[in-house]
Each structure stands twice: as structure tokens, then as C-alpha cells.
Amino acid sequence: MIYLDHAATTPVPRAVADTMYTVLTEHFGNPSAQYPMGLETKKQVELWRRTVAKALGSESRQLFFTSCGTEGDNWAIQAACWQNRRLGRHIVTTAVEHSAMLEGCRWMEQQGWEVTYLTPDGEGVITAQQVLDAVRPDTALVSCMLVNNELGTIYPIQEISRGLAAKNPQTLLHTDAVQGFLKIPFSAKTLGADFITISAHKIGGPKGIGALYIGPRVKNPRPLLPGGGQEGGLRSGTEATAQIAGFAKAVELRTEGLEDKLRHMAEIKAYAKEQLSAIPDLVFVGRSDAPHILSVSLVGWPSQNIVNDLGSQGICISAGSACHQGKPSQVVAALHLPKKTAGSVVRLSFGPETTREDIDACVQALRRHHDTRMPML
């Protein structure tokens, strides 16, 4: 199998799986239990939290484990809007966010909140000034992803943060950094966001575990789940210790030689662009800044047909985000591309394990698809 869908999920290294197995079978104590095994497990959870927090550039006390990125995004919306409920009932976000953010905002609209959805240019770019121009005195929350999951476009979170401080200091800032964490250099300390969402399964960790950074400007954040008081009383429920351990182990492995890994992915991406450019009717889509995401359109050939054809040959690419489950992508729609181009977009995404041979096989398969199938759009 040739796997070129690392933006959807990533392979789990054996060391991560082994760490989780050991926790499940040997160190399975409940961290809330008061006997030695429980107390030791609680200590381990805090050590694992420290590992993830350090990689994010935050204090351990600012990092709260969640079940996934979707949960983190929704918690950030709820916490920010609760804190600023007396400031106003207005949210600014973008039309190219992950579905977790967009659906969370639509739910807020049903509760009477007003949401401004910013549209990018044809390259997927949204400027800091564009965001700041949409901020009003009653804006409770601005949410803008760090790296777009379909295009790889990096958004100017630091610049937005500085602008908010000048224009409306009470407005809170959230960024979904699921596609940015350990993929591009950044630190919670300097990014300027009040909430940062991350997820384990995008960096070689297990599914079912993520984290939300909550910064110092968030005062008494509203609990996501009331109950037994876990996660500082903000997200109750017995800690998923094996997943947390796997998350921390994945962070350890990914941070070893991280600069070399990022350089490798950037080189693989550059090689892919060079090889793909020789295919007739293929165009690149969006401004792809991050080293691991590349979207292209084989104009006239339906994207799902391409995905199905390559999949039958053991080559995994995607037609947009995996979370769309085959539905049209709101990201591609927001670019206002010609119909034939929009209907033919596929995404390749890379990891540290991706080789030039993987790229060669994918390019050959795409060229065969072009040469042997009739365009249908």
C-alpha cells in the first residue's frame, strides 16, 4: 500500500502501540483511585501531559485532554462565548474551517448568535486585515485555523492576535492547529491564541485523544463536561490513560529530529509538484504553504473516480477532507473555482515516511487515469 493521506490520519508506530498495550494491560489503574496504583497512574498522566505541553510550547496546567479535535473546537467556542456573553453575541470565522468549527458555529447561530464567515481569495488566502475588518465591538470570538486541512495554506494567527489586542482586547482568539502541530514551527507562548486545538492521530498517535490549550486570558473557563472533576474540573470523565500515553509517545517520536522530518516532507512535496506538473490537464489548487499538503485538480476527471481508481491499485489519496465522507468540500466551494476544476480536486498529503518511490507510483497512476479514462465533467 502507498499511503498519501497523512492529513486524514497517520500510521501508528509500533512503539506507540506497545506503550498503549502496556498501559492497558499492566498500568490500568484509575487515576482518581487513592491506592498506590491509582496514584501512580495519576502521576504518569501528568508526566504525559508535560510531554505534550512542552511540544506545544505551553505550561502543563494550560493543556486539557479531549477525545479529538472536534471536541476541542466545540469546547473553545462554548468557553469563549460563555466568557464574553455580556460583550456581545458575534463570532468571526472563515468559510474554509474544518467542519467541526463550521457546524459548531451553525449551532451557535441556532442559539441566536451572529456569525461572520470570511471567504478566501482564489488561492485560499485570508489576510489578518480581512479578519480584523470583520471584528466589531460585540465580537466575542475570532476563530481561524492555523493550517488549512485541504489546501495547506498557513493563516497569520500571530498577526491576527496583535491586531485584536489593539482593536478589541476582550475578543478571544481560537485556532484549530490540528494540521499545524509538529508540522510547522510554532509555540503557544508566542502564537497569541487563547485556545489551540490539537489531535494525536495526525502525528502518529492513536485516534480518540486530543488536547485543548487554554491561555491565561480565559478566566474560569466553562466546564465542557461536569462530573467527577477530572482535567481540573473542566472535562470530567475517567482519563483515557492508554490514549494519553500513546499521544505522549507519538509526540516524543515526532519531535526526535523534527527539523529533518519537516525538511524531508517539504522536499517530497517539491518533488511531487515537479513530477505532477508533467501530467496534461492537471493544475495545482490553492496556496500550499505547509510541507505536508498538496491539492491538485485533474480538470474534467471527477475526483471520486480518481480516488476509487487509485485506491483499487493500493494508492491512498483523498477527495478533500476525510470528514466530508464523499460530500462536496466547503473549502473548494469557497475558492469559487470553475466547475470542472472544482469537481476534480484531490489531495495528496505526506508524512516523514513518504518516499520518492511513493510519489512516482502515484504520478504514474494519475497519468494512466488521465490517458485511459474519458473526462466526465
Active site residues: 323
- What cell does 69 get? 479535535
Classify residue 121 as exposed, middle or buried by CB count within 10 Å of its CB (0-12, 13-18, 19+).
middle
Q: How far apart, in Å, are the Cα atoms of 289 and each of 7, 27, 123, 131?
A: 14, 42, 11, 19
Side-chain half-sphere exposure of 271, counting CA atoms within 13 A? 18
CA distance 126 to 136: 18
What letters, b where the CB count within 10 A reaches 16 and e where it falls short, cover 261-299?
bbebbeebbebbeebbeebeebbebbbbbbbbbbbbbbb
- Radius of gyration of the CA atoms of the chain, in A: 21
**DSSP reduced 3-state for 155:** coil
Residue keyed to cell 492497558? 24
CA distance 259 to 250: 16
CA distance 327 to 284: 21
CA distance 329 to 320: 6
Query: Angle 303-312/356-372 helices, nearest 10 degrees?
Result: 120
**DSSP reduced 3-state for 34:** coil
Identify which of 146, 143, 142, 144 has the alpha carbon closest to the alpha carbon of residue 185.
Answer: 146
